Structure 1
Amino acid sequence: MAKAKTGKPHGGLATFFTRRLIQAVPVLLGIVLFSFVILHLAPGDAIDVMAGEAGTGDAAYMAQLREKYGLDQPLHIQLLRYGTQIAQLDLGYSIRNNAPVRDLILQRVGPTLLLMGVSIVLSVAMGVLFGAVAAIRRNTLIDDLISLVALLAYAMPIFWIGLMFIILFSVTLGVLPSGGFYDVVRQDVGPLARGLDVGRHLVLPALTLSLFYFAIYTRLMRASMLEVMGLDYIRTARAKGLGAAKVTIRHVVRNALLPIVTMLGMQTASLLGGAVVVETVFNWPGLGRLTYDAVFQRDYSLLIGILLMSSILVIIINMLVDLAYSWLDPRIVAR
């Protein structure tokens, strides 16, 4: 009986993630198909942008470039060729940047993951902490102040928060850099100094991106804790003589975290969207900034590659959310 008991969760977890991986395949295929068709139906392409920047409209030269890169082929032929490339883990070639799309994405995915990771940790940690304090001190001045701060953070646009941070901390106080990933003039420093330098440049973008989600998690945590506090098993735990701190930490907070984890998984895609704005404001060299540039350059191969990579990131993060769910509530794995 003991062996069956210990083996079941692992088998259930493996089946759970296998099912998620199988479901991810048609999702990715649908994303590639939809984005490819929509982008290529839009007027213009990278050749038009390059010709405009070069100040030439020679039809023969533009036709030669389209033939060179296969843009003169019918849409279904281009789609078939691109699907074959994807199957070979080849994301295509960026005409505008004169480099493979895979290399461009790999150069930028690290800063984006760093920004997203720090922003998620900050927003969830602050949201859980302030939401729990607001629930414990409900209907008091502390609760009102936390609710007011959360409302202000939620109401302010992300780009406006970023600009205000730049004016305050960079222009007025001069304590933090206004943008970039590290100081160009300090390229010969050691790894510790480089890490501290990147950390200084990360402070403002991470705070800007996390404030909006901090407001959501604060309100959600407060409401969830108040709901859990009123359940029967909480009253039973208190009636048995358990201390208030033990009841709050072991029973209330753990069960109140389930909606937070759900919201985190749902907002991964919107977090990537917010990263586009933040990376543009702070000139952060991530996927968001690369997406912004690719849109104006009409670099469709790069755009589709970024969208595919972003979709994979969203799927991976949602699988990690499922793993967190299985730890908070093991019954979910069996469903």
Structure 2
Amino acid sequence: MLYYIVRRSFYGFLILLGVNLLTFALFFTVNTPDDMARLNIGGKRVTQEQILKWKVERGYDKPLYWNDAADGRAKLTDTVFWDRSVSLLALDFGRSDSRAATDIGHEIARRMVVSLQLAVPVFLLQVLASVSFALLLVFFKHSRIDFWGVVACVLMLSISALFYIIVGQFLFSRVFRLVPISGFESGWDAARFLVLPVLLSLLARLGSEGRLYRAMFLEEIGRDYVRTARAKGLGEPRVLFRHVLPNALIPIITSAGSYLPYVFLGSLVFESFFGIPGLGAYVVDAITGQDFAIVRSMVFVGSLLYIVSYILIDIAYTWVDPRVRLA
């Protein structure tokens, strides 16, 4: 397994390097440092002196990819590419392009804690609720409960997450006044700000996840080992929990593991609408403010988390199914 982890980590590093190079090239093809200076300074009349000052303050006055030194030696280290792209591999994110020029690494670390307070309960409750709901439908298969459960899944799939947010804020914040409509506070007071987005996020994903897990469980109960278990006289609950559920863990781990990057990166929509200062809102604010340094950094962090999550998924396969061998 160690050899597999090292090999996958090496491949992951190559992918991360490629994403980093492509992201840097795309961003600076669309916008030159002069364009970025005009966007961040603002105003209709921006002088060349203001642009040059902005570029010097943020290190964009250097050549993009290659620096032909006066002594005839070409240097890569004294370039924007080295400062803004290669440094990401060492998790040195630098400073933002905005007027505040905040430290991106410090902001990511601070906001990740907030995002985890929202995303971890959603992740755990989502897996528990989706699996339980799917098992309930399979237990009552071909009954009215199963029929109306599938109808509910289709309805939840058809409704946008924005609808849940708008209706949830109107009902629970304005009509019943049970929770604040938006905002965030640290400590235990965060619970009253997070309970509504957690429940709405859970509801928004329950339809797709429940329908997916129901299909997987229905496929499993048609296999020979299930018929053998029933022939031995085992009850349906024991068949589902002792035989079907353990054998369906691999697709469940795949589905749940693909959500892991969002656990750390936060939810763009929910954090923005509920005024939660997490990484999701950080990305939205950066895109709105056209702060490309933050956007590039978050693309890198997202790619890194996806690579790590899929390695962890492969390792988890060996824990739930001894037949799986990583070579």
CA distance in 2, matches of 1:29, 1:199: 39
The residue number in structure 2 matching 1:221 is: 213
The residue number in structure 1 matching 2:88 is: 86
CA distance in 2, matches of 1:258, 1:150: 22
Q: Give the one of 5, 13, 21 matched to 1:25.
A: 13
1:241-320 correspondence to structure 2 within 5 Å: 241-268=233-260, 275-320=267-312
Are residues 22 and 31 of structure 1, via their aligned partners in 2, closer, same or farther at CA, if it must alter by over 3 Å? same
SS of the residue corresponding to residue 248 of structure 2 reads helix
The residue number in structure 1 matching 2:25 is: 37
The residue number in structure 2 matching 1:62 is: 51
The residue number in structure 2 matching 1:123 is: 126
CA distance in 1, matches of 2:19, 2:128: 32
CA distance in 2, matches of 1:234, 1:84: 54
Are residues 159 and 269 of structure 1, via their aligned partners in 2, closer, same or farther at CA, if it must alter by over 3 Å? farther
CA distance in 2, matches of 1:230, 1:88: 50
Are residues 274 and 81 of structure 1, via their aligned partners in 2, closer, same or farther at CA, if it must alter by over 3 Å? closer
CA distance in 1, matches of 2:198, 2:162: 13
Is the contact between residue 120 and residue 263 of structure 2 (CA under 8 Å) also seen in structure 1? Answer: no
> Is structure 2 residue 48 aligned with structure 1 residue 51?
no
The residue number in structure 1 matching 2:68 is: none
The residue number in structure 2 matching 1:190 is: none
Are residues 79 and 111 of structure 1, via their aligned partners in 2, closer, same or farther at CA, if it must alter by over 3 Å? same
Are residues 232 and 84 of structure 1, via their aligned partners in 2, closer, same or farther at CA, if it must alter by over 3 Å? closer
Is the contact between residue 237 and residue 247 of structure 1 (CA under 8 Å) also seen in structure 2? Answer: yes
The residue number in structure 2 matching 1:15 is: 3
1:91-240 correspondence to structure 2 within 5 Å: 91-96=93-98, 97-182=100-185, 194-195=187-188, 197-240=189-232
CA distance in 1, matches of 2:326, 2:261: 27
Give TM-score scaled by structure 1 length. Answer: 0.84
| Structure 1 unmatched ranges of 5 or more | 1-11, 188-193
Is the contact between residue 147 and residue 219 of structure 1 (CA under 8 Å) also seen in structure 2? Answer: yes
Are residues 19 and 214 of structure 1, via their aligned partners in 2, closer, same or farther at CA, if it must alter by over 3 Å? farther
SS of the residue corresponding to residue 118 of structure 1 reads helix
Counting matched residue pairs gives 311
1:287 to partner: Cα distance: 0.9
1:288 to partner: Cα distance: 0.9
| Structure 2 unmatched ranges of 5 or more | 66-78
Residues 269-328 of structure 1: per-residue CA shift (max 9 Å, x gap)? 677888111111111111111111111222122111112222223333333333332222
Per residue, is there more helix in 1 or in 2?
Answer: 1
Paired amino acid for 2:52: A
Are residues 15 and 179 of structure 1, via their aligned partners in 2, closer, same or farther at CA, if it must alter by over 3 Å? farther
Query: Bigger shift: 100-109 or 266-275?
Result: 266-275
Are residues 84 and 32 of structure 1, via their aligned partners in 2, closer, same or farther at CA, if it must alter by over 3 Å? closer
Which gives a bigger RCO, structure 1 or 2 (Cα 8 Å, sep 6+)?
A: 1
1:252 to partner: Cα distance: 0.6
CA RMSD of aligned residues (A): 2.3
Are residues 210 and 30 of structure 1, via their aligned partners in 2, closer, same or farther at CA, if it must alter by over 3 Å? farther
Q: Give the one of 318, 322, 325 matched to 1:330.
A: 322
Residues 130-186 of structure 1: per-residue CA shift (max 9 Å, x gap)? 11111111121111222122112211111221111111110111001112222xxxx
Are residues 226 and 70 of structure 1, via their aligned partners in 2, closer, same or farther at CA, if it must alter by over 3 Å? same
Are residues 321 and 240 of structure 1, via their aligned partners in 2, closer, same or farther at CA, if it must alter by over 3 Å? same
CA distance in 1, matches of 2:5, 2:205: 27
CA distance in 2, matches of 1:333, 1:305: 35
